[in-house]
């Protein structure tokens, strides 16, 4: 059997062009676009589920669209989810800020420090 997962992502012949000064930008953009794609795929699946639920008379799309949290607890749970999600996605920005606030030594320096401890 062929390794279909690996082969599906094979490179084509010819040097890959990079358009930004720093290839890292290109790399991150490509990863981000792949995730954007998977989000669209997920959204389409949700759409299918909502429509099937409606067809079977279980939940209507209006009900879903009109839904708002009904208790304080539900409100908090939702907002907590958003907060945690955003923090997870923007982790690196937060860490860069922490570093700015609290300039750190490099781990190599710390190793030298520890060596003397």
Tell me whether residue 31 or residue 90 sits nearer to another protein (CB atom): 31
Instruction: Tell me how many helices (H) and strands (E) the chain has.
Output: 6, 0
Three-class DSSP category at 26: helix
Determine which helix (DSSP H) or strand (DSSP E) holds 70, and give its type and residue range.
none
Residue 33 or 110 having the CB closest to another protein: 33
Q: Which structure tokens are listed for 88?
A: 């997870």
Which is closer to another protein, CB of 7 or CB of 58? 7
Instruction: List residues near another protein by CB under 8 A.
Output: 2, 4-5, 7-14, 16-20, 25-26, 29-30, 33-34, 37, 40-41, 44-45, 48
CB 20 within 8 A of CB 28: no
Burial class (CB in 10 A: 0-12, 13-18, 19+), 104: exposed
């Amino acid at each position: 059997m062929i390794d279909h997962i690996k082969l599906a992502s094979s490179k084509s012949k010819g040097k890959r062009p990079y358009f930004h000064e720093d290839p890292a930008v290109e790399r991150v953009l490509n990863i981000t676009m792949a995730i954007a794609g998977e989000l669209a795929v997920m959204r389409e699946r949700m759409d299918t589920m909502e429509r099937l639920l409606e067809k079977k008379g279980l939940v209507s799309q209006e009900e879903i669209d009109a839904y708002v949290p009904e208790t304080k607890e539900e409100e908090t749970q939702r907002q907590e989810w958003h907060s945690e999600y955003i923090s997870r996605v923007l982790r690196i920005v937060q860490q860069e800020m922490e570093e700015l606030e609290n300039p750190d030594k490099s781990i190599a320096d710390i190793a030298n420090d520890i060596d003397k401890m």
